[in-house]
Structure 1
Amino acid sequence: MDYTTIQISRSTREKLNGLRAYKRMTYDELLNALMSLIPEGDEEGVYTENFRASLLRGLLDVKEKKTHTTEEVKKQLGIQ
């Protein structure tokens, strides 16, 4: 496999380090894991109707205040 060097800021590197699933996870593994979360679309970022619909439902839930903060959920679960 061929590798290349990319330039990222220190703050970006620290954010990436915080996302690692395990200590020795490579940036290549991490970036591939993150990219696997992106729904399938074409090269120009066109996503499936399902994805767009779920995104719109989520935005509507936020707008209608049908969401809960992390603190609210922790309180409900008794894990303060």
Structure 2
Amino acid sequence: MVSYTSIQILPETREELSHLKSSPRETYDELIKKLIELIPEGDEEGTYKDEFKVGLLNAKLDAIKGRTYSLSDVKKSLGLNK
């Protein structure tokens, strides 16, 4: 028998997730599993640790939300503009 649990998310989060569904009949469990599959497991050097995976996801979110600096901005802030 399959056992389910519930999770608490904000209504806004549920709304965002609903827009990611590939069909109205897709369950949130199926959607979350697909999102988890997007996380890379590792590379030719080995498997990534969970902390590194979280860091990758946070970096992707930062890039998507524009919370990044260009190389020229970093050079300027470090006084390396030559």
User: TM-score category by the smaller chain?
Assistant: 0.5 to 0.7
TM-score normalised to the size of structure 1? 0.54
Extract unaligned runs of 5+ from structure 1.
Answer: 65-80
Q: Which whole-Å CA distance do the structure 2 matches of 1:63 and 1:42 have between them?
A: 28
Output the CA distance in 2 between the equivalents of 1:12 and 1:46: 24
- Corresponding residue number in structure 1 for 2:11: 10
Which deviations, in whole Å up to 9, do the C-alpha atoms of 1:4-29 show, x marking residues without a partner?
Answer: 01111110000000000111110000
CA separation in 2, counterparts of 1:23 and 1:17? 8
Aligned 1:9-48 pairs, distance under 5 A: 9-40=10-41, 41-43=48-50, 45-46=51-52
* Structure 1 position 63, deviation (Å): 2.6
What 5-or-longer segments of structure 2 have no aligned partner?
42-47, 64-68, 72-82
Higher strand proportion: 2
- Identity percentage over the alignment? 40
Q: Which amino acid aligns with 2:19?
A: G
RMSD of equivalent CA atoms: 2.4
TM-score scaled to structure 2, two decimals? 0.53
Number of residue pairs matched?
A: 52
Q: Displaced runs of 4+ in structure 1, greater than 3 A? A: none
